[in-house]
Chains A and B, each alone.
Chain A
Amino acid sequence: MDLLEKGKISGFQFFALLVTVRLVPVTLFCPTVNMVTNPATAWLNDLIGSLLALPLVWLLANLSLKHPGKSIIGYAEDLLGPIAGKMAGFLIICFYFMVAATVIRTLGETLVTSIMQATPLIVFVGSAAFLAANSARNGMELNSRTAAVLTPTVVFLLISVSFMAFGYMDLQYLRPIYFPDGLTELVWPSASVLSFYTEFLVIGMLVPHLNRPEQAIPISIGAILFSLGVLLMYCFVIGSVFGPLFNSLTLPAFRLARTVSIGTFLERVEPAVTVVWIFSACVKFSLFVWATAVGLSQLLGLSDYRPMIYPMGALIVPVSILSYQGVIELLDTLTGSMIVFAIGFLLFLLLSLYVAWAIRISRQAEGGSSN
């Protein structure tokens, strides 16, 4: 199956895309924190979740490297055979589709909850989806260029908001580190952190387009570690600023921006902060719409993916609106069933691909020795 996209991305752009993928749910929502009982222990979840993500992402990137010039849709079919391979491909595309729907809904909910309460959700979801679909239609190069400029901006903004919050911090909130319900408390929040890393499944679509594919593994690992750093910083800041309120915030990042001020002249910077988050959410959405459209076109053997983009975008909008009743249900899903589903799906996929690969290698070895 030939690649439909001819664009190439640099190592830094790949890194920026992955960081955007991981940080967007954090910069808008921070669902993990709702599951933590003691703010002093929240950072442990980020650490455990991210470290667990390392081997999974390594396995994923390794598969792509062993099948150069093929996307995950292509090599899944090679490994699993035409029927099972197509099914696996379809499931992967559904996963991308679902991630896109969740991202766009998250973006819409953030806007409706925080700054423009009177505007219907569909206005934000629809217009952002249209914009991102336009970007996706221009090919992956454009999206990665935007990400390369945007990611440093977002990270800079996160860091500067954290700095501005310095005066509001109370480091007493960050201790003692104890677990009222025992160490089992760590399981679900860490799994939640890990579940967001499953979105790195998009690596399977990106690696064939890297200028130097051999960089895929170090860059992916670097993106995880970088995201971990940002997550830890964020965790400490939110924990020390909000303390006991920590796990009752719907939009902690937003509340943080609302709290801080620069001197006496720049107050309530949250709409400005939200603006940058909108950008990064659009980039992530655009990436997943692109992945869905390219994947589906490859699966169906189409010669061009561009005609798929707008229909995909149009389909994602109603799905994203109908999937969740409201922001609470969205949060419930992200911190509940989604964890099991996402991690389970990734593990199952990796397992089946590696088993198929092992069988293939052993068969080739047998064939080689019999000759």
Chain B
Amino acid sequence: MKRRFRTSRYRQTPSDPGQNPGLESFELDTPGAGDISASISENENRIREAFGNSADLVIRKIKFGAYSDIQVLVVHIDGLVDDQMVIQSIIRPINFFSEWPPLEDPTPARVYNQLKDRLIAKDELSEVGRMEDLLKEVCSGNSAILVDGYNAALIVDVKGWKERNIEPPTTEPTVRGSKEGFVENLRTNTSIIRKNIRSPRLRVEELTIGAVSRHKVAIIYIDGIANNNVVQEIRDRISRISIDAVQGTGVLEEYIEDSPYSPFPTVLRTERPDRAVGSLLEGRVVVLNTQTPFVLIVPCDIFMFLSAPDDYFERYFIGSFLRLLRIILFVVSLLLPSLYVALVTFHQEMIPTELAVAIAAQREGIPFPVLVEALILEIAFEMLRETTARVPLMFGPAVSILGVLFLGQAAVQAGLTSPFIVIIVSITGIASLGVPIFSLGISIRLLRFVLLILGGTLGLYGITWGIAALLIHLASLRSYGVPYAQPILPLIPAELKDSIVRFPWWSLLKRPHLVAGPNTTRQGSDQKPGPPPPPDNGPQGGS
């Protein structure tokens, strides 16, 4: 079970993670590129020209103190910066604080250094010498300060755009877990993770992708727990991406997953910080992106998709029961319609006689074979589900009412389908919503149709064939070198403790050893709670 990574001819290790040489060809020409000039008016013109006089560009020219004639240019984009912060940390220091004490012999260089070393009241400060870098920083929500007569600029981080508050995750609700969800801001998300893992070993690496959009992507892992090969592989795969813009982690996922042709997702998407933190502590790596509240977790296995935070927060009996139930739901949603069709079409002898008679009686007068009947209802159900997800909110009830009427009543009364298949499709529909991670649930929907057709044409043999093909595929899948179907395929008995069921927390001594790096011990042994052992001299009162 050696770790195996796909060796790629594209693999390259960039010298600087932020700069990808592959991106240059995608870059649009930046107007006004070149070194920053010493003349402030020339710089101003170049900036205005570069932005094509955009309405949200703010250029403020201020004098440095009352007694000097040196002018200072403050450039930023309205809406991306926090106005209060700009006033407090840039405008006010330049205007007023520069007077205490006044600069004796104000040359441009002295003014620049005074700003840099003393005046700007902000901890995140950097310098740029080239115009295109200045423009990029301004586009990222920073403010640039230029001094007349000096050919460099100060960049002050005053980002302050409007963003959503931290809210409960909408796609992965929980009963006893944290109510905090990720948001669309990278820094907020990293801070949520930091808040939960207060160790300097938590590493946050940022890369920039998208030649035009220039979005930040963060790779987060715990040094010493995560496997370095996996971290390097993610770094490589992300820096290989050369594209104009990556719109969110959904797109990013397609660039960094292992098996692009597989129906199964090999990268876990989650909105829940506790899931991300739990994965980090198991030695996995989390990838964040600026535009979506979903983060990516690699390497992952299929049981992670079937586990929910409540499995860990409820006591282990309940946790295990819920996990088992969810696995059953997964299997039911995959197999139930095809099994029904196969049994009714080919293997009637397997159905208990009374039930077989009941089914046969209700199917009398129905013009279609069971397979067609099942397909009609399944497609109708999928239509209903897709429409309710996309329809404007005020039409939702109308769609539901029509759906209930069609699926539940009219189709049966009109003799189009039998009530049994309605029951089967409804159970399947409910079961398919029981898969906690949407990306796996959605791939089952597709596989269900394939199995349905196999079951309707070749009976149980067809379904077996389909399952065998799925198993072979699952067993050959890997997510960043880790077998996707572990610990079942391959069978790793020690790790069954947290897969189909969840053992008590105090018995989960090890991290998944195929995932975690050098250190796989999670906790001290012998922590099983219990009453203190009875004292040797019998019960003693008073103490």
Is B350 touching A142 in the complex (CB atoms < 8 A)?
Answer: no
Given known pairs A119-B458, A123-B458, A267-B352, the reply for A148 and B491 (CB within 8 Å) is yes
Given known pairs A131-B465, A267-B350, the reply for A142 and B472 (CB within 8 Å) is yes
Q: Interface with B: A228-236, A268-276, A338-346, which one?
A: A268-276
- Bound: A290/B394 CA distance, A: 60
Set of chain A residues within 8 Å of B468, measured between Cβ atoms: 131, 278-279, 282
Residues of A near any B CB (own CB < 8 A): 8, 10, 12-13, 111, 115-116, 119, 123-124, 127-128, 131, 134-135, 138, 141-142, 145-146, 148-149, 264-265, 267-269, 271-272, 274-275, 278-279, 282
Is B476 touching A275 in the complex (CB atoms < 8 A)?
Answer: no
Is A269 touching B350 in the complex (CB atoms < 8 A)?
Answer: yes
Is A135 touching B472 in the complex (CB atoms < 8 A)?
Answer: yes
Given known pairs A138-B472, A282-B468, the reply for A145 and B461 (CB within 8 Å) is no
Is B476 touching A142 in the complex (CB atoms < 8 A)?
Answer: yes
Interface residues on B, range: 20 to 34
Set of chain B residues within 8 Å of A267, measured between Cβ atoms: 349-350, 352
Given known pairs A127-B465, A134-B469, A279-B464, the reply for A116 and B350 (CB within 8 Å) is no
Set of chain A residues within 8 Å of B465, measured between Cβ atoms: 127-128, 131, 278
Is B460 touching A275 in the complex (CB atoms < 8 A)?
Answer: yes
- Bound: A308/B472 CA distance, A: 19
Given known pairs A8-B2, A271-B350, the reply for A146 and B464 (CB within 8 Å) is no
Most buried by B among A12, A146, A271, A279: A271
- Asked if B347 is at the interface of the complex by the 8 Å CB criterion, the answer is yes
Set of chain B residues within 8 Å of A119, measured between Cβ atoms: 458
Set of chain A residues within 8 Å of B460, measured between Cβ atoms: 115, 271-272, 274-275
Residues of B near any A CB (own CB < 8 A): 1-2, 346-347, 349-350, 352, 458-461, 463-465, 468-469, 471-472, 475-476, 488-491
- Bound: A307/B472 CA distance, A: 18
Most buried by A among B347, B349, B475: B475
17 further contact pairs, Cβ within 8 A, besides A135-B472, A272-B460 = A8-B1, A8-B2, A111-B461, A115-B347, A131-B465, A138-B472, A138-B475, A138-B476, A141-B490, A142-B475, A145-B489, A146-B475, A149-B488, A149-B489, A264-B352, A278-B464, A282-B468
**Interface of chain A, helix or strand or loop or mixed?**
helix
Give chain B nearest CB distance to A309 CB in angstroms: 13
Give chain B nearest CB distance to A17 CB in angstroms: 13
- Bound: A128/B465 CA distance, A: 7
13 interchain pairs (CB within 8 A)? A8-B2, A115-B346, A127-B458, A138-B475, A142-B472, A146-B472, A146-B475, A149-B488, A264-B352, A268-B349, A271-B350, A274-B460, A278-B461
Is B347 touching A146 in the complex (CB atoms < 8 A)?
Answer: no
- Bound: A127/B491 CA distance, A: 27
Contact of B461 among A10, A13, A115 (CB under 8 A): A115
Set of chain A residues within 8 Å of B459, measured between Cβ atoms: 115-116, 271
- Bound: A8/B1 CA distance, A: 7
Set of chain B residues within 8 Å of A13, measured between Cβ atoms: 490
- Bound: A272/B463 CA distance, A: 11
Give chain A nearest CB distance to B178 CB in angstroms: 36
Set of chain B residues within 8 Å of A116, measured between Cβ atoms: 346, 458-459, 461
Set of chain B residues within 8 Å of A111, measured between Cβ atoms: 461
By beta carbon, the residue of chain B nearest A136 is B472
Give chain A nearest CB distance to B507 CB in angstroms: 23
Set of chain B residues within 8 Å of A282, measured between Cβ atoms: 468
Give chain B nearest CB distance to A280 CB in angstroms: 11
Set of chain A residues within 8 Å of B349, measured between Cβ atoms: 267-268
Give chain B nearest CB distance to A135 CB in angstroms: 5
Set of chain A residues within 8 Å of B464, measured between Cβ atoms: 275, 278-279
Set of chain B residues within 8 Å of A148, measured between Cβ atoms: 490-491
- Bound: A146/B347 CA distance, A: 27
Is A271 touching B471 in the complex (CB atoms < 8 A)?
Answer: no
Contact of A145 among B2, B463, B491 (CB under 8 A): B491
Top 9 A-B pairs, shortest CB-CB distance = A145-B490, A138-B476, A275-B464, A135-B472, A145-B489, A271-B460, A148-B491, A268-B349, A142-B475
Set of chain B residues within 8 Å of A146, measured between Cβ atoms: 471-472, 475, 489
- Bound: A267/B469 CA distance, A: 28
Is A149 touching B352 in the complex (CB atoms < 8 A)?
Answer: no
Set of chain A residues within 8 Å of B346, measured between Cβ atoms: 115-116
By beta carbon, the residue of chain B nearest A134 is B472
By beta carbon, the residue of chain B nearest A144 is B490
- Bound: A13/B2 CA distance, A: 16
- Bound: A149/B489 CA distance, A: 7
Is B350 touching A272 in the complex (CB atoms < 8 A)?
Answer: yes
- Bound: A269/B458 CA distance, A: 18
Most buried by B among A8, A124, A127, A279: A127
- Bound: A128/B461 CA distance, A: 10
Given known pairs A116-B459, A278-B461, the reply for A149 and B350 (CB within 8 Å) is no
Set of chain A residues within 8 Å of B461, measured between Cβ atoms: 111, 115-116, 124, 274-275, 278
Give chain A nearest CB distance to B464 CB in angstroms: 5
Set of chain A residues within 8 Å of B350, measured between Cβ atoms: 267-269, 271-272
- Bound: A268/B349 CA distance, A: 7
Set of chain A residues within 8 Å of B1, measured between Cβ atoms: 8
By beta carbon, the residue of chain B nearest A211 is B1
- Bound: A8/B464 CA distance, A: 28
Set of chain A residues within 8 Å of B463, measured between Cβ atoms: 275
Set of chain B residues within 8 Å of A127, measured between Cβ atoms: 458, 465
Set of chain B residues within 8 Å of A123, measured between Cβ atoms: 458
Give chain A nearest CB distance to B358 CB in angstroms: 14
By beta carbon, the residue of chain A nearest B342 is A271
By beta carbon, the residue of chain A nearest B466 is A131
Given known pairs A115-B461, A265-B352, the reply for A131 and B347 (CB within 8 Å) is no
By beta carbon, the residue of chain A nearest B485 is A145
Set of chain B residues within 8 Å of A265, measured between Cβ atoms: 352
Give chain B nearest CB distance to A131 CB in angstroms: 6
- Bound: A137/B304 CA distance, A: 28
By beta carbon, the residue of chain B nearest A118 is B346
Give chain A nearest CB distance to B420 CB in angstroms: 17
Set of chain B residues within 8 Å of A12, measured between Cβ atoms: 491
- Bound: A274/B476 CA distance, A: 25
- Bound: A219/B389 CA distance, A: 56
By beta carbon, the residue of chain B nearest A264 is B352
Contact of A131 among B458, B472, B476 (CB under 8 A): B472
Set of chain A residues within 8 Å of B458, measured between Cβ atoms: 116, 119, 123, 127
Set of chain B residues within 8 Å of A271, measured between Cβ atoms: 347, 350, 459-460
Set of chain B residues within 8 Å of A8, measured between Cβ atoms: 1-2
Give chain A nearest CB distance to B477 CB in angstroms: 10
Give chain A nearest CB distance to B5 CB in angstroms: 14
Set of chain B residues within 8 Å of A149, measured between Cβ atoms: 488-489, 491
Most buried by A among B459, B472, B491: B472
- Bound: A123/B460 CA distance, A: 14
By beta carbon, the residue of chain A nearest B490 is A145
Give chain B nearest CB distance to A160 CB in angstroms: 17
Given known pairs A116-B459, A123-B458, A271-B350, the reply for A131 and B469 (CB within 8 Å) is yes
- Bound: A74/B228 CA distance, A: 38
Set of chain B residues within 8 Å of A279, measured between Cβ atoms: 464, 468
Give chain A nearest CB distance to B277 CB in angstroms: 31
Give chain A nearest CB distance to B475 CB in angstroms: 5
Give chain A nearest CB distance to B366 CB in angstroms: 23
Give chain B nearest CB distance to A331 CB in angstroms: 22
Give chain A nearest CB distance to B469 CB in angstroms: 6
Set of chain A residues within 8 Å of B2, measured between Cβ atoms: 8
- Bound: A279/B464 CA distance, A: 8
By beta carbon, the residue of chain A nearest B491 is A148
Give chain B nearest CB distance to A166 CB in angstroms: 21
Give chain B nearest CB distance to A147 CB in angstroms: 10
By beta carbon, the residue of chain A nearest B352 is A265
